[in-house]
Amino acid sequence: MASQNIYILAIESSCDDTAAAILKNDTLLSNIVATQEVHQKFGGVVPELASRAHQQNIVPVIHQAIAEANIDKKDISAIAFTKGPGLMGSLLVGTSFAKSLALGLNIPLIEVNHMQAHILAHFIKEQNYKIPEFPFLALTISGGHTQIVRVDSHFEMKVIGQTIDDAVGEAYDKSAKIMGLPYPGGPLIDKYAQLGDPKAYKFTKPKVGGLDFSFSGLKTAILYFIQKQVKENPNFIEENRNDICASIQYTIVNILMDKLKKAVKETGINQIAIGGGVSANSGIRKALNEAEGKYGWKTYVPKFEYTTDNAAMIGIVGYYKYLAKDFTDLSVTAQPRYKI
């Protein structure tokens, strides 16, 4: 088996991106993502519209992934798919398609936890990118999750800290909405933050025990601050957008870094990996890179294409599960709340 190449077709449909990838062992051959722009005018993801778009996109996306990998359907060793967490309707599209295709090709089916995949994305073989050594701490940050996970092996993971309310991605997007920025606002805050003074405005950091996070209070503080300032000066946001964004980003990054420092101290593990859509944020990446020199940490930051929802990360989990012969049967169904 060791000398035989393993080809994994991976399918990701947990939210509003339809994605498919082909991996040859731990090397990526193709990674196709169809984004859904229909949600922008609503200021957030509309689940029913997302499901319909997945149904339209899934066949051409998988077809393109196979074509770009330059393989035939009969070469595929197994199909890996996102079982959860995510939006039920979206997950059902990917799950149903994966089950049908696996049955048609008579090949194994592999279920994947989306959050576990964000962590194992670091194990996709890439030039100039280091692979973490076990054990390490993973900070998974996205629109729906904020977690610190202790990772002892590919499949031994324990959540040691998580948000008790909003996820960090929600804090970014809701802050952007308060400022009148279009959805998704997180990347725009990051863009404007790079041009502003991070210490222009001070926002209080939440006091949450242990390694858990809270962002709902920060969001409320930003709302009241903006309302007060706009009442005094209707042009406040336009005149100070860069500084506001820089101050919001500075506060959020400090919240994340404070908890990471505490986790390193408590566990004695100084290898830190990040994953999830918000790990594309320049402020967080900069803070982690600086932590290597400041605290002697070893940090692992994924390629940008592996930060947002993608099928490559589903495929690498599929590869390791294939090696372990950890397959699922056709009775499997989507699970919108699916813990690591």
Helix or strand (DSSP H, E) at 120 = helix 114-120
CA distance 205 to 105: 53
CA distance 334 to 325: 21
Binding-site residue positions: 114, 118, 140-144, 173, 186, 190, 281, 309
CA distance 255 to 146: 11
**Assigned token pair, 188:** 């725009």
Q: Which of 237, 254, 115, 47 has the alpha carbon at shortest distance from 171?
A: 254
CA distance 200 to 127: 40
Give 242's contacts (C-beta < 8 A, 6+ positions apart): 192, 193, 195, 196, 197
Binding-site residue positions for Fe cation: 114, 118, 309
Q: Which of 147, 124, 151 has the alpha carbon at shortest distance from 137?
A: 151
Binding-site residue positions for substrate: 140-144, 173, 186, 190, 281
Backbone angles phi, psi at 277, to 5 degrees: -55, -40
Give 204's contacts (C-beta < 8 A, 6+ positions apart): 217, 218, 221
